[in-house]
Amino acid sequence: MKRSSQARLLATSVHLPHGYRTMAETRARIAAAGSPFVPPPGALELSGIRGVHVKEPDEQCSDLAVAAAGKALEEAGVTVADVDLLLFASSGQDLIEPATAHVVAAKLGATCPAFDVKNACNSVLNALQVARALIETGQYGTVLIACGEAPTLAVRWHLPDLRAFRTASPGYTVSDAGAALLLTAGPAGDGEPGVLATVFSADSASWDVCTVMAGGSMHPRGDDEEVCTLRLNGDLVETGRRHVPRFLDAHAEEVARARESAFVAVHQISLPQYRRCCAEFGLPVERSLATVVEHGNVASASLPLQLALARESGRAGPGDLVALVGLASGFSVGLALLRL
């Protein structure tokens, strides 16, 4: 069926907290916690990450999202009254009930409908898919996606042994951030600005490979570091190696266009993972940005961060085709194609 309109990106913005913790400071904090095991010099740096952004103790996920959303609204030259729907997309949240989208809306002064979209580090990418569908079906005209990530809350500081360090290792690379995407309806067409494709796949049998267990029905009152912190319970790299070929086969046309894009954003957990992902997808490294080195793994804010920096630096501009490639615990892979 031919579309009469398509979701067009009006603005992309990011908010990075002022706090910053280097890998050396991370090692010192592990030692200060009285850990029997302290990673030796160089172990944390194997990630290729220099440091991570850390929010203030009284900052919430919603505050990070609001800061980024305010920038997006200003960039687009609109007010919150022009927003028809607000989606909060994040691996984190302020609280279990109600949806954090309502907290964000209240802080922004929005009176539109609001709800959360949650799928680990693909939360923003899935929210883009949702926003696109709702705009193209005429249910909403302008949709604000607001993201607030605070994964540094899930870091394990006391390490009894090497095994604990290995399972807790993803936590030392995660970083806090806010991000926002503002979309509105525009004319349809491959040459027109807008979201041209959103495709996803999942290997849900691998849900337990990387987890934060506390806060749900499995561990509703968890205060044990084993369940309250980000844990690597299996081989996430191997999970990706098994699943990515299936994604490439199922979405060959979209992947081919991604390889030809002016700019490609790839979700980044570490520098080796970023390079490996580009190689497995056949993506041009010279047309991407290795943001993970300075900014760490900002979870689902990773793709908006890269896109915002690409636009600021002139690496992506009006008329350019850009690709957003997402990977997330669960396990899921996603790809969005946008013309700016």
What pLDDT is recorded for position 335?
A: 97
Mean pLDDT of 57-71: 97
pTM: predicted TM-score of the whole model, two decimal places: 0.95
Distance in angstroms (rounded) separating the CA atoms of residues 24 and 97: 37
Does residue 1 have a pLDDT over 60?
A: no
CA atoms within 13 A on the CB side of 14: 26
Does residue 109 have a pLDDT over 90?
A: yes
What pLDDT is recorded for position 217?
A: 78
Average pLDDT taken over every residue of the chain: 94
What pLDDT is recorded for position 214?
A: 84
Does residue 170 have a pLDDT over 70?
A: yes
Q: Does domain 194-339 have CATH number 3.40.50.80?
A: no
Question: In percent, how much of the chain has pLDDT > 90?
Answer: 87
Does residue 41 have a pLDDT over 90?
A: yes
What pLDDT is recorded for position 53?
A: 98
CA-angle at 286, arms to 180 and 91, nearest 5°: 30
Mean pLDDT of 122-143: 97
Longest dimension (CA), the chain: 63
180: amino acid identity, one letter? A
Residue range 242-280, pLDDT digits in tens = 888 999 999 999 999 999 999 999 999 999 999 999 999
**305 Cβ contact list (under 8 Å, min separation 6):** 14, 177, 179, 291, 295, 298
According to CATH, the superfamily of the domain at 5-187 is Thiolase/Chalcone synthase (3.40.47.10)
Domain locations in the chain as residue ranges = 5-187, 194-339
Distance in angstroms (rounded) separating the CA atoms of residues 257 and 137: 25
Q: Cα 26 to the chain's mean position, in Å?
A: 22
CA separation, residue 87 to residues 8, 181, 228 (Å): 16, 10, 26
What pLDDT is recorded for position 152?
A: 97
Mean pLDDT of 87-111: 97
Distance in angstroms (rounded) separating the CA atoms of residues 73 and 68: 9
Tokens for 132, please give them. Answer: 């696109």
In this predicted model, which residue has the larger pLDDT, 193 or 218?
Answer: 193
What pLDDT is recorded for position 2?
A: 66
What pLDDT is recorded for position 235?
A: 86
